[in-house]
Chain A
Amino acid sequence: MANLHQFDVVVVGAGGAGLMAGLYASRTARTAVISKLYPTRSHTGAAQGGISAALGNLEEDRVEWHTYDSVKGSDYLGDQDAIEFMCQEAPQAILELEHMGLPFDRTPEGRISQRPFGGHTNNVTGKPVRRACHAADRTGHMILQTLYQQCLKNNVTFFDEFQVLDLLINDGKAVGVVAVSLADGELHTFHAKSIVFATGGHGRVWEITSNAYAYSGDGAAIVFRRGIPLEDMEFFQFHPTGIYKLGILITEGVRGEGGVLINGKGERFMERYAPRVKDLASRDVISRAIYLEIREGRGINGSNYVYLDVRPEVVNKYAALDGRTNPDGSPYQVTAEQLLKKLPDIIDFNRVYLGIDPMTQPMPIQPTAHYTMGGIPTNQYGEVVIDDKKTVFPGLYAAGEVACVSVHGANRLGTNSLLDLVVFGKYAGLRAAEYARGVDFTPLPSDPEGFARRQFEALRNGSGKENLTDISNRMKRVMFEDVGVFRTEEGMKRALAEVRTLKERYRQVRVSDTGKIFNTELLNAWELGNLLDVAEVITISALNRTESRGGHAREDYPNRDDANWLKHTLVWQRDGRFEIGYKPVVITRYTPKERTY
């Protein structure tokens, strides 16, 4: 082991959660942040619309309302103690970001500006509330930049372009990770007391996706191979408004500013599905509505997309019909100039990729794979919990999209992802450092790099009969068709068989690049292995849950079934076999009831 490093805390991933964890852990512990990308390339930077907190800067708002909206948004699968904690922490988290210099947009009084977002309501009137703090339509970019800058200011140690390949366990504790340096292909072993996984989601499992190439489920797949369970993997969010065919995200902020969804008959169809909040219903509700419109032949020209219309005259027409007002009570009206200021990137995406101007033309959109609600089970301190008895795995932490606290349950509310990573990234970092202070290093297992080396050798020495891209494309297609917005037993069984066939075919690939320097082909091949493993767990979990809840919509079981399914799924891999278990949902104040918008 030529390349051995020792740190108190190792953070894997440098998006919002990883940087928060790194920033906080490094205050009291020797900390390294390892990232396969330069930190500013992380997918947090693609988040657009906002980050919610009941600051009440523009109208009355309350932490309890944010909490209830999130519980309801989760279709009652979120753990209410964790949601309460997150929403309680939210105002302070936002203010802390501002104190770090984050350039939020401002109200005329100079306070942080807020906009409406899907599912966020005034609990008394039921109307949308301005809760999403924003910085144009690049809020995630601003968070990522600000946190990276603060890490530089505080001399956090980074290992950029290091891909973590394995979690090391000894004596029942997490003791390190193995990574490959992309620049020279050398393996490195990081010996640590605490390890925080903040590696993001796995939206690249699906064909139409808003997610970065990097979102290949690395963290989930790595810990799963080491016997850690994954929670609620059947729950994945399809965002209703991706750019047609490309899947590039069009923020819900567009609808927050007054944009409406229009079908092929020119109808604002969300009136029928969510009479009160219409286009600002939860994402799962709107994605299903779009599918149903398309299935009924009401897509644009009978095709498989609808329009998102934010032309000022259309916004103003529907705002008047809805009786929408400004904070001062005057009628809500927008101009193209104001929209350009608030949604510059959205307008740019449309111009570049579609050649259309959203100020004069509607945008063709379709649901796009977007967010991983499930993941590595944790408590609200980021500690990884490995069973239904709250047993913590010593030294192992997870935060951000890879983690399942669970604050998002069956469906995440827009803006709560950024809040999740700021709040739980911070607490995971603090707890990881605290734990490291109280323990000595546990020795590394023998031959720590063996497993990672064997994985690479297999990819270099396969028969070469199969092509990586073919396997990848097939997986994405099958998962999008059969484990997507709507699901059936028949379709999912087909998908599971296909994924298992693809896993067999994957053994026959051979990486043609035999070099060590930036062998991105080897890296891509390894990432595909993670996606296949994750796709299998998703499908097993989804087949097993015979109800519909949040993002998991089964046509053969169309109703929510609280009597049998108000519980979290856990899946383990033991001796090459899958085991399914459950743990109860934490209910504090909000009794499950029917969910309408």
Chain B
Amino acid sequence: MEVTLKIFRFNPEVDKRWHYETYRVNAEPTDRVLDLLEYVKGYIDGTLSFRRSCAHGVCGSDAVRINGMNRLACKTLVRDLGDKITVEPIMGLKVIKDLIVDMEPFFENYKKVLPWFINNSPLPADGKERLQSPEARERFDDTTKCILCACCTTSCPSFWGSDDYLGPAALVAAHRFIFDDRDEAAAERLQIISETSGLARCHTAFNCTMACPREIQITKAIGELKLATITGRLD
């Protein structure tokens, strides 16, 4: 099938402002949008710039806006889009070049929630693993799936409209540790996300949940965090 592919273009070394370029390419219905971007780069315009690595939805490099929705280009097939496809950078982070945005603010927000395991108690005397029941492990399973692609955070109206909102991805990271019963820093993290830059800025738009390529129930996770800050309980 022939696909009309419209791509957001901006080269800071040449362009005064951004524009769109339209390309007509032949595609199989099972082609990934990433395959089309690779084709354009390989055969039509080598300057087209985007990030990618694993090409099957697990590394999180190629988050872009496809027909208005945040998606991974490698996990979105032509057959699910039709013959008119528009690809733009994710919103709310500065565009550096074409589909590449500045990810530094995103990772800075992630780091603010102490996204690492904290347990200062002595290890089990036998040196073996800390025990955890399958039920306790299940409690935070969903939020361990996050690949930090930023689809959620850059689909969030509160993130677009705020200079300091941590964003859903950082809250997902907080959830992963707060609800891990081996971790000992839940109170500290809850304090961090209770500040005005945190949970209060989530107005349950559900855009994050819709955007997540890992199908994490992000709004639900944020709801559980909100409840925990109110009740002080983690069950």
Contacts and interface: CB of A to CB of B under 8 A. Distances in A.
A518 B145 contact: no
Given A101-B116, A517-B96, A248 B56 contact: yes
B13 A149 contact: no
A149 B116 contact: yes
A111 B30 CA distance: 42
Contact of A521 (B46, B100, B115, B148): B46
12 contacts: A37-B59, A41-B60, A46-B54, A95-B127, A101-B117, A106-B132, A149-B116, A212-B54, A352-B77, A469-B38, A512-B46, A518-B96
Given A46-B58, A101-B183, A515 B14 contact: yes
Interface stretch (B1-9, B82-90, B133-141): B133-141
Contact of B55 (A101, A146, A213, A511): A213
A468 interface: yes
A512 B47 contact: yes
A333 to B, nearest CB: 18
A517 to B, nearest CB: 5
Contacts of A153: 116, 118
Contacts of B30: 353
A469 B38 CA distance: 9
Interface of B: 11-14, 30, 38, 41-43, 45-47, 49-61, 75, 77, 96-97, 100, 103, 107, 111, 115-119, 123, 127-134, 137, 140-141, 144-145, 147-148, 177, 180, 182-183, 215
Contact of A109 (B12, B49, B55, B131): B131
Contact of B134 (A106, A212, A511): A106
Contacts of A37: 53, 59, 61
B68 to A, nearest CB: 20
Given A110-B131, A349-B56, A469-B42, 10 more contacts: A40-B60, A98-B130, A101-B180, A105-B137, A106-B133, A110-B133, A213-B52, A517-B96, A517-B97, A518-B100
Contact of A105 (B50, B118, B131, B134): B134
Contacts of B183: 101
A104 B128 CA distance: 13
Contact of B42 (A38, A212, A468, A518): A468
Nearest to B137: A106
Nearest to B61: A41
A43 B53 contact: yes
Nearest to B107: A38
Contacts of B140: 103
Given A98-B130, A110-B133, A516-B13, A38 B103 contact: yes
Interface residues of A, number: 58
A487 to B, nearest CB: 27
B129 A520 contact: no
A46 B43 contact: no
A437 to B, nearest CB: 27
B13 A515 contact: yes
A152 B118 CA distance: 12
A111 B147 CA distance: 26
A169 to B, nearest CB: 29
A183 interface: yes
Nearest to A469: B42
Contacts of A38: 61, 103, 107, 148
A142 interface: yes
Given A101-B117, A103-B140, A213 B53 contact: yes
Contacts of A183: 96
Rank and list the top 9 A-B pairs by shortest CB-CB distance, nearest first: A101-B117, A469-B42, A110-B131, A149-B116, A153-B116, A512-B46, A513-B47, A521-B46, A98-B129
B216 to A, nearest CB: 11
B56 A46 contact: yes
Interface in A68-99: 95, 98-99
